[in-house]
Amino acid sequence: MTSTPIPPPGQVVAHGEGQHVSHNLTGFIIFLCSESVIFLAFFSGYAILRLSALDWLPAGVDGLEWRMPLINTVVLVSSSLTMVVAEHFKGKEKVWLFRAFWLLTMAMGAYFLYGQAVEWSGLKFGFTSGTFGGTFYLLTGFHGLHVATGVLLMGLMLFKSFIPGNYSGGEEGVKATSLFWHFVDVIWVILFVLLYVWRA
């Protein structure tokens, strides 16, 4: 259909090297960007409901206790740092130090979940207490689900670190988990500001 210039003889072109690289990390980043929109939707829904409400707080509730959540926040934010340290040690091939800090990060995540559960159990309002209760439990619950997922992912990565040679060729799983954890962290900071810092 179209004329072709004659290629130089004997030229063998090896193509397709790029084909077998794993694209997991790219895909995961794209997914995280998309996931952040759900939170954005919840945040904007919360803000709109709160700004248009006549009586935001249900009867008998005069605001949220913020000290315990603040401790929780500090723990979660620091866990991002311990995770960076863990990754640093992995880069230097100090596997045991990596595991130690990784485990520490997991523990801090688990503590956050525990703190969240304690806070929930002490509250005087429920899921169905108007839009205040609904948005509070929705936001913290949906975020808590992400924290739990993050802890489970970390557990998986920790387990994988014991498979000999597993991390020698590249460690997209660890990178993805750490990205996810930082994401969950950032979301929590916004959430904390929206729920606890924002006063009427």
Partner 1 sequence: MTSTLPLARPEEGQSWTRYFGFNTDAKVIGIQYIVVAFFFFLIGGFLAMIIRGELITPASDLVDRTVYNGLYTMHGTIMLFLFIFPVLNGLNNLLIPTMIGAPDMAFPRLNAVAFWLVPIFGSLLIASFFVPGGPAYSGWWSYPPVSIQNPLGNLINGQGLWLVAVALSGVSSIMGAVNFVTTILRMRAPGMGFFRMPVFCWTALAAQTLQLIGLPALTGGAIMLLLDLTAGTSFYRPEGGGDPVLYQHFFWFYSHPAVYVIILPVFGIFSELFPVYSRKPLFGYVYVSVASFIIVGLGLIVWVHHFFPSGVPEWMRNLFMFTTMLIAVPTGVKVFAWLGTIWRGKLQLTTPMLFCLGGLVNFVFAGITGIMLATVPIDIHVNNTYFVVGHFHYVIYGAAVMGIFAAIYHWFPKFTGRMPYEGLGKLHFLLTFVGANLNFLPMHPLGLMGMPRRVSSYDPEFAFWNVLASLGAFLLGVSIIPFLLNIISSWARGPRASHNPWNAIGLEWLLPSPPPEDNFGEHVPTVISRPYGYGSDEPLVEHQAEIEKALILQEATR
Q: Which residues here bind partner 1, judged by CB under 8 A?
A: 1-7, 9-10, 12-16, 18-19, 21, 23-24, 26-27, 30-31, 33-42, 45, 48-49, 52-55, 127-128, 130-135, 138, 142
Which among 39, 189, 52, 75 has a CA at the least distance from the CA of 132?
52
Is the CB of 114 or the CB of 127 nearer to partner 1?
Answer: 127
**Which residue type, as a one-letter code, is found at position 115?**
G
Is the CB of 47 or the CB of 156 nearer to partner 1?
Answer: 47
Is the CB of 31 or the CB of 159 nearer to partner 1?
Answer: 31
Q: To the nearest whole angstrom, how small is the minimum distance from the Cβ of residue 51 to partner 1? A: 10
Is the CB of 49 or the CB of 97 nearer to partner 1?
Answer: 49
Q: To the nearest whole angstrom, how small is the minimum distance from the Cβ of residue 8 to partner 1? A: 10
Q: To the nearest whole angstrom, how small is the minimum distance from the Cβ of residue 93 to partner 1? A: 28
Q: To the nearest whole angstrom, how small is the minimum distance from the Cβ of residue 124 to partner 1? A: 17
Give me the helices (H) in 53-129, please: 67-91, 95-121
Rg (CA), the chain: 23
Which among 22, 54, 35, 33 has a CA at the least distance from the CA of 132?
54
Unique residue bearing structure tokens 């810092």: 197
Cα–Cα distances in angstroms (integers) from residue 33 to residues 152, 180, 190, in the given order = 21, 11, 16
